[in-house]
Structure 1
Amino acid sequence: MPDGSGAGARAAAQGEVDAVAARLRAAGCVFAEDEAQLLLAQASGPGELEGMIARRVAGEPLELVLGWAEFAGLRIIVAPGVFVPRRRTEHLVQVALASVEPGDVVVDLCCGVGAVGAALADGLADRIELHAADVDPAATACARLNLAGLLAEHKAFVYTGDLDAPLPSRLAGRVSVLSANVPYVPTAEIAYLPAEARDYEPLVALDGGSDGLDVLRRVGACAPRWLRPGGHVLIEISARQQDAALAAFRTAGLEASVHESDEDDYSTTVLVGRRPA
């Protein structure tokens, strides 16, 4: 007689997925079955699984429940209270990779958990000198985990502080690419963000001031000090901020342009500034 144990196990596993998915679907999770499979794979046992389901049903972002987010093909460690890297920001990485070469010095300001820096290093087989900084100590704690291999090899350095303040002076005039995933949501629009962002991510990583460009202007002003001649600074913005952002970079003495991408269900605009050679 054929052994039905394999089919029985598969049926039981699918039944477990269905049961978890039903609870997630009832809480409003659109991709309930996919999320159920991820939670089941991540949980070490029934107790942990139940806790994870409860957190997700309460509205906590899936990535924070899992403890990681997928970004540019990497599994990026995240923790409660940090900004979760967005897939749309992968376009910033692709634009940056076109301007960086092995051995270059790269700075990642507003680095958050280090996703952009990790992706840039991965794209160049770890052959860069990376300096990452963020004002949020919870974020830089995660960045140190995500860049642990590079830190051990002294190819990466992580600082906690306001924008470029903690960067070592020896980098002045040597940086090929300065990326900055700055907050760019206007203050008055924070209340309209999805609850997953508004309720679980730090305000400092979301609020860009009255027009959303307060931090961008600060980065534009400081970038020429750090960039080598011909070096680039890149920042993600919204399309409607394009004209004001271009003007801010040009006021700072940078040559400015934008790169737009339409991927899947979202579009991304990256502002690029170049220090004149």
Structure 2
Amino acid sequence: MTAAESVEVVARLRAAGCVFAEDEARLLIEAAAETGADLDVLVARRVAGEPLEYLVGWVEFHGVRVGVSHGVFVPRQRTAFLVDEAVQLARAVPGQPVAVDLCCGSGALGFAFATALAEKGISVELAAADIEPVAVECARRNLAPLNAPVYQGDLFEPLPADLRGRVDILLANTPYVPSEMIAQMPPEARDHEPRTALDGGPDGLDIFRRVVAGARDWLAPGGHLLVESSAAQAATATEILAARGFSARVAESEEYYATVVIGTRALS
């Protein structure tokens, strides 16, 4: 590709409102070269609002490259904060931590979590689950190098019984957008990502409530549930956890513009 052609791609993306047009142009050009796809088609699809991650087939998340398929929730960079919090808690677990990535989507959280622990010399027993078949297939590809099983079903339903009462770290990136706010989301999310991965019900906490209701049976004594929420939802979320017997706290990051609600099961 000539320099003039590259400049033209940047101009088309910038005109479409892509804030990071130069970076996106580079990624699309590389994807076309690597896969043999038609660059003009890729650019046209991006200009039309299709997520960049679907077009290039991956996203950089928490220092690792995660494959992303069409129709699978695209990991948000702010969720790296949840992974950081989970890694810190897992380091305090005696022996090998047991972790589950619930509502796993692409498996990005579990993959990044296990990779970060491996860099610190800690191995983890990891499993994941999601209700969407396309997400399960995507997560299986991403988690295959870790030999981590991915189950298809509704929340805890498909998990094997031998995990019950053993989970030290439960990662649950549940959908938390209030139903009436879906229409106000950017088109690339609203029109392309699965609604089941976005819509959290009237107040955004419907799936969170269901996870909390089932989590106690699956967590080990002293085990932790970590869920991303909005700052406005955090107080209600902690009340939901407390009502189910969890000790609850809120972690916030100005760097990531992220809020994570953490519930801990009592030791006895």
TM range (shorter): over 0.9
After TM superposition, the structure 1 = structure 2 runs for residues 42-121 of structure 1, keeping only pairs within 5 Å, are 42-44=31-33, 48-101=38-91, 103-121=96-114
Question: What per-residue deviation string (whole Å, max 9, x for no partner) do you get for residues 150-183 of structure 1?
Answer: 12xxxx1100100000011111111110010000
Whether the 8 Å contact between 1:114 and 1:132 is mirrored in structure 2 is: yes
Tell me which of 122, 133, 138 is aligned to 1:137.
133
Whether the 8 Å contact between 1:17 and 1:33 is mirrored in structure 2 is: no
In 1: Cα distance, 2:88 partner to 2:20 partner: 34
1:185 aligns with 2:174: no
After TM superposition, the structure 1 = structure 2 runs for residues 212-251 of structure 1, keeping only pairs within 5 Å, are 212-251=204-243
In 2: Cα distance, 1:248 partner to 1:46 partner: 50
Whether the 8 Å contact between 1:35 and 1:62 is mirrored in structure 2 is: yes
The secondary structure found in structure 1 opposite 2:257 is strand
In 1: Cα distance, 2:254 partner to 2:37 partner: 41
Whether the 8 Å contact between 2:98 and 2:168 is mirrored in structure 1 is: yes
Give the share of equivalent positions with the same residue, in percent. Answer: 55
> How far apart are residue 16 of structure 1 and its match?
2.7
Q: Give 2:196's aligned amino acid.
A: V
**Structure with larger Rg:** 1
In 2: Cα distance, 1:150 partner to 1:30 partner: 35
Question: What per-residue deviation string (whole Å, max 9, x for no partner) do you get for residues 79-127 of structure 1?
Answer: 1111100000000000000111462110110000000000011011171
> How far apart are residue 13 of structure 1 and its match?
4.1
When the two structures are superposed, what TM-score results if normalisation uses the length of structure 2?
0.94
In 2: Cα distance, 1:47 partner to 1:251 partner: 53
Aligned-CA RMSD value:
1.4
> How far apart are residue 30 of structure 1 and its match?
1.6
- The total of aligned residue pairs comes to 260
> How far apart are residue 47 of structure 1 and its match?
5.0
Q: Give 1:270's aligned amino acid.
A: V
Q: Give 1:33's aligned amino acid.
A: E
The secondary structure found in structure 2 opposite 1:164 is coil
Q: Which runs of 5+ in 1 are unaligned?
A: 1-11
Structure 1 segments of 4+ aligned residues over 6 angstroms from their partners: none
